Amino acid sequence: MSGASQSQVFSGIPGIAPDMTPGDPAAFANMGKEEAACARLFTRQSGEAFAHIPDTPTLINSVRLIPAGGTHGAADDDLPEFCRVEGVIAPTIGFLLRMPTKNWNGKFMMGGCGGPCGNYLEDRVDPALVRGYAVVNTDMGHKGTGWLFGFNNLQGQIDFAYRATHLTAKAAKEIVAAFYGTRASRNYFMGCSTGGRQAMISAQRFPNDFDGIIAGAPVYDELGDSPYFIEYNLRANTAPDGSTILTKDKIDVLHNAVLKQCDGLDGLNDGLLMDPLQCNFNPATLVCKPGQDPAQCLSPAQADVAQKFRDGARNSKGETIYWGIPWGAEKGWVNYFGWVSPTGQQYTGSGYAITGYLGLSSGATGGPNYKVADFDYDRDPDRLNLVGDIYNPLNPDLSRFKARGGKLILFHGTDDNNIPVEASIDYFRKATLVNGGEAETRRFFRLFTPPAMDHCRGGLGGGDADWITLLENWVEKGEAPDQVIMHHVTTPAISVPRATEDYGGPYAKMARYPLQPGSYDRARPVYPWPVSTRYSGKGDPALPGSWVPAKPR
Ligand SMILES: [Ca+2]
């Protein structure tokens, strides 16, 4: 196309849009083939060509041809030229579809969003677009930040729960077929956190949507994860006078003691636990003894808090409500729990308004009036369960997904301080029970729990992997993933600010594979649960070949 330095906008730009009418050959005559195909998506029936997809009333709002090199500087400078389609599925599900104009690989990938969504996390699927995939994101039914969208808004809650994911997949597939003149040969989903929840919802409820699914650290309990995990830990760490019990200066004391006891269990003292769940650390052993330097030990109350973090939420009878955090993740507590922030800033609960807006939205303590201290661990779990099931992907029966030949890769880092890894382990165990046993289940569903990996990516142990190739090989070549190589990336992430109207955090450049040599300092294999990784006893620990499968847990 001419003037490729600027993206061509076929809607809303005076002098272009008015000329683009169906059946106007003159309007298309001066366009390149790809440009014309992109433009036609909008001009046909004024953007309503896709209004009649069953259950999926779709309107296209705008189309643009984006030249190669992207629009976010260094964060997406390797993108190919693509046709950018933004639309809405009634009443308010927004979607952003991007289709490469040249060298389409014939496949489609949907990307998940994160937290409350309300934006398009297109950077998360840029690695697929670079490979030639047509890719789509949805805002899950609303625009903006935070959880207010769901307050007294059942339609908004249902869209966020499951409707937006399913209908966006349906609409995007039809537009892909119209643009290329043929349907995608493979349909995939990839997402983490809320995106992981979308992934599991698809496998359980809409098994025909995707041939292969990558689910990272899913939110299994949409309304409960915050009060049962993050808010529980906050309260456990708050003294009656409001002060913080376990403080930042004791994190290293704890972490070093954990390493001293458990680091060598994997065959190598390297500061990393390859199987943190095997570490039976007891923080009571760190309680100060007479004459001991108080900077190097814990008070009994501090030791009790650390044990509560590990044990997970309990009600007043001591019954377990939720999972805790495996040992080894102590360093991450600083990032996730405000009471040990460097400034000493106390957490106020405003960031976890989901409990008030979506979970306990009735009554005087609901909505904007909700405070962390209001949550009653005896009374309120049932209140959350009133509507929790519309969100929660907890059905272990994957028989329909299995029967249609679907493949599911689930991953969850052990140092995840947002969603406990044992939630995924519990789900996987239940799935093996109802899908024909462990061996049969592993034919279509595998769980990886990368050690010392944070929420979705990153972490001390290395949290970056080429999940897409793993899935492609399984679905397209029948090669089941017997291991995944986790990379500890050392190069700073490239990210640029998003436009204000696009909401969300910076536009980040997700890792492209194969990784550049020198961009990581360590790579280790992680095997499907329940096999952990062990040092072979020889070779450079930074190289994958020096590690072997341990006996199953
Ligand atoms: Ca170790």
Peptide bond before 514: cis, by omega within 30 degrees of 0? Answer: yes
Neighbours of ion ligand 1 (CB under 5 A): 263, 266, 268, 270, 272
Question: Is pLDDT above 90 for 351?
Answer: no
CA 450–ligand 1 middle distance (angstroms): 13
Structure tokens at 107: 């496949």
Digit-coded pLDDT (tens) for 191-228: 999 999 999 999 999 999 999 999 999 999 999 998 89
Task: Tell me what percent of the residues of the chain surpass a pLDDT of 90.
Answer: 74
Digit-coded pLDDT (tens) for 449-467: 999 999 999 999 999 999 9
Three-state SS for 20?
coil
CA 417–ligand 1 middle distance (angstroms): 20
* pTM: predicted TM-score of the whole model, two decimal places: 0.93
CA 281–ligand 1 middle distance (angstroms): 15
CA 447–ligand 1 middle distance (angstroms): 21
| Burial state string for 78-113 with b = 16 or more CB within 10 A and e = fewer than 16 | ebbbbbbbbbbbeebbbbbbbbbbeebbebbbbbbb
- Taking residues 109-123, report their average pLDDT: 96
CA 439–ligand 1 middle distance (angstroms): 29
Digit-coded pLDDT (tens) for 289-300: 999 999 999 999
Question: Is pLDDT above 60 for 522?
Answer: yes
Nearest to 16 by CA among 51, 64, 73: 64
Digit-coded pLDDT (tens) for 387-435: 899 999 999 999 999 999 999 999 999 999 899 999 999 999 999 999 9
CA 232–ligand 1 middle distance (angstroms): 30
In the predicted model, what is the mean pLDDT of the chain? Answer: 90
DSSP 67: P
Question: Is pLDDT above 50 for 340?
Answer: no
CA 553–ligand 1 middle distance (angstroms): 16
Better-predicted residue by pLDDT, 339 or 89: 89
- Taking residues 356-368, report their average pLDDT: 78
CA 461–ligand 1 middle distance (angstroms): 10
